[in-house]
Every structure is written in structure tokens, then in C-alpha cells.
Structure 1
């Protein structure tokens, strides 16, 4: 009789625990779904408003005419070209540095004091406000050389993209099993060849994603460019002088009282978003398994 009573109590306790766990699981699932719906709603509303306001200002003049005074039917050609030049050069400078530093941290200095210090500095740069980097480059290149320049903006953007690539490269290389490294080295391959031909190839998808994240970040940076390249409303490809860029033009036009400038600001914001989305689509298409 007592065994039957204990069995009944255990069954009742197990059933109660099961119901409690099910209620908690349902609650967590509802909260997760609600958070997802809210996040998607915010994203869709932002993209919807950006498309609605920006698409109305898209025309051929936008891509063939430089910025002009209000009411002159100007475009954003100089700003678009300026941003492409600065972002491209900054990516070319910052990407190799970031990849090499990330490789050093993952392959040569995993637990060393120097590696920990480099990783700490990289994490600080990754989380530092971009305006501080702009001020640093301002004191480093603008003040001593007596003026704003496109090169100062390139240096600021390069500093911003480096820690993004460093962190992504290190994380992706750490995901590669050590047994794979040992197998390659066991065949007699030098370590540098193992890193270049095996580790980098295995982690190329994640590394490229990090590069795209870095490009997406610097493509919309405004604060550091205010202290370095300053901006230019005229056509210019001279990086030794104040240089035009799309984020600076958006910043200046969005707060203006002129309707045509505000429309151009929305169009510029839409172009920046489309560029970032396009980079991601191209990367996924290139890296898609065949």
C-alpha cells in the first residue's frame, strides 16, 4: 500500500513539474516571438519610410550632377564618388592589417601576454565612439598639416574598420579544429602555408562577412569625417583638400530648411542602405556552395 502511495505522489510531482516547465516554455516562447515581431516591425517601418521618402527623389540628375545651391536641381554625384573613393581606400588599407592582426592573435599569440594586450586594445577600438577616432586623427593629421583633407578621412575610416576585421578573423580562425592544423603540419607543410592555404580558405566566409560589416560601418560614418575631411560641395578627387562624402552631405542636407535638399538627403540615405544590402547579396552569391 505504501509503495502505491509513494508512486502516486511521485507521479503527481512529476506531472506538476511537467506543467510548470510547459508554462515556462510557453511564456519564453511568447516573449521571444513578441520580441521578434517588434524588431521586425521596427526594421520594416524604417526601411519602408526610407524607401518611400528616398525613392521619390531618385532620378538621373542625382547621379550626374554635383551638389548645388537650393532650388538649382542639384544631385549627389560628387558626394557618391567621394564616399566610394574614401571607403575603397580605407578598406584596402584596413582589411590586410586587420586580417594579419587577427591571424597573429589566433595562430601565434593565443595565450601570450602580448596577444592579450593587443586583443584588449582592439576591443577598446571596436567599442570606442567614432568621434573620438575623428578627434585623434584631427590632432594627428589635420592640425600639423594645416587643413582638412581626404587622406585624414581615409585614415580615420581605416582605424574604424581594422578592429572589426581583427575580431572576426580571430573568431573564425579559432573555430577551425586544431586537428586540421596538426594534420597539415604533419605532412611537412610550414606554418605560414598551413595558415594561408588551409585556415584562411576554411574561414573565408566568416572573414568576408567581417569585412562587409566593417565596410557597412564606415560607409555611414559622419562624425569622424567632420573632423578630418570636412566635406566639399564641389566636385573634387584631390585627397589633399577637403573631400566630399555622402554621409556628410546627408548630415548637412537633412537639417536644412530647403525641401529639395531634404529630399536629396533621403535619397542619399536610401543609396547608402542599398549599397550595404547589395554587398551582402553579392557576398552570399559568391560564397554559395555550388
Structure 2
């Protein structure tokens, strides 16, 4: 095979370039004039346009793709920014909801405190409530330094919720009335009916009924759903000072059935308190007039 002569290639390339430049010059000149271009000029123009399209098309393609990529990145960044704003908004909403809930409970606590003017009380915060024993116990931030002793009644959200069962210097453990383990120190109660008061013992919690169970009710006692139930103040409990104070609201009657021994009634009491959400409590020490 014959070797390609480099000088010939250079000469051919120069001729093509000169011809192309001449064609472009002629095309531009005719375009400026008002005369119709000749057939040869039209051919040159068409050829020049074709070459221009061939050379420029890839550049336009690359530019378009670059613009698309830039727009895509802008959209991605905007989406990420919106996601961040949405997450922050949800977090703010959750905090606001928590503050509103806490505010409502504080108002209930203040209202409860107003009803306990006849009692010595200690206000406390719930500092521990384990998920595994949520319905059984909780820990508050008051203890022996605040005058607390075991057996004292604990109230929250308008009603009795449990008893103090363990006292440390700065904290105390509270056994809830909703405990599935039963109530060690059972609470004597009084049902306020239209007739004479009816007495019984709050002895357990029925998780299916979501209600306290009061036993030892006189089978002849007359009461109805909606009657209020209070602590009676009768009897004493180990570790308490003067037994259980009387007149503390527990809940309302929602039903009854015959006791298993057939000698009395079992009464179901709906708790006055939302037992699931307890943040602030009052520990009732004693009646003021009993000091």
C-alpha cells in the first residue's frame, strides 16, 4: 500500500477550508442583497446549512442534557430542603402537642389542688414509669424529706390513682390501682346514692372493663350508674397516718353483677382519672382538721 503523502493531505484540507469559507462568504453576501440567489448559490447555502446542523447539533444536545441535569439537581436539592422543613414542622407540631397536653394536665392539677383545701398535700412530678409495668407502678420526685410515708393516697387528674408503697429520701414508688397484680392495701369506699351511702372495698382492677372492682357491697344497697364513689375513711392501713382520708373522689359507677360467692354485689367503677397519662400527682398526707 502506498504511503499517504502528508503534504497532499494538508493541501486538500486547505482547499476544503478555503472552499467552505468562500461558500459561507458568498452565502452571506447574497443573503444581504435583495436578489434571488442563483441555483449554485442555493446549493452552496443548503450545503453550508447542512454542515452547520451537523456540527452544531451535538453541541446543542450536550447543552440540553447539561441543562436537564442542572434542573434535576435543583429539583433534588429543593426536595431535600422540603423534606427537612417537613420533618422540622412535624417535630415542632409534636412538641406543641406535648406542651398543650402538659398545660391541660397542669390546669387539672391546679383544679384538683383547689378541691383538696381540707387536706395536707405534697405536689410531685412523675419521673419514672416503665413500659413493662405501665399499669402497675410509677416513681415520683418526692420522698421522706417531704414528709411522705408508705400507705398515703396518691391523686392525679381529679381522682385517686394509687398508694405510696416505698419511700426514699428524694423519691417514692407508687402502686397504681390499675395494677394487674392486685391491690395490697385495699381502699374502703363510699357510693353516694340517692338514699343512704353504700360502703364497700375497692379490691382490684378489671382490665377488660377498664374499671375498678368494688366488693363487699350490701346486696340490699340501692344505687345506679353515674353515682359518684369516694374514699370512706373507714378502717386503717399499715404504714398510713390515720388511715385513708375520706371524701377523695375515685370515679363513677358503670355497672354491677353478683359476687362469685353469691352473698353480695361486685360494682364496676370507671376511674375519674386518665390512668394512661399521669405526669403530676398530689400525695394526700392527712386532713388539716385532724392534725
Q: What TM-score comes out, normalization by structure 2 length?
A: 0.28
More strand by share: 2
Q: Which is greater in Rg? A: 2
| Greater percentage in helix | 1
Compare relative contact order (CA 8 Å, sep 6+) and give the higher one, 1 or 2: 1
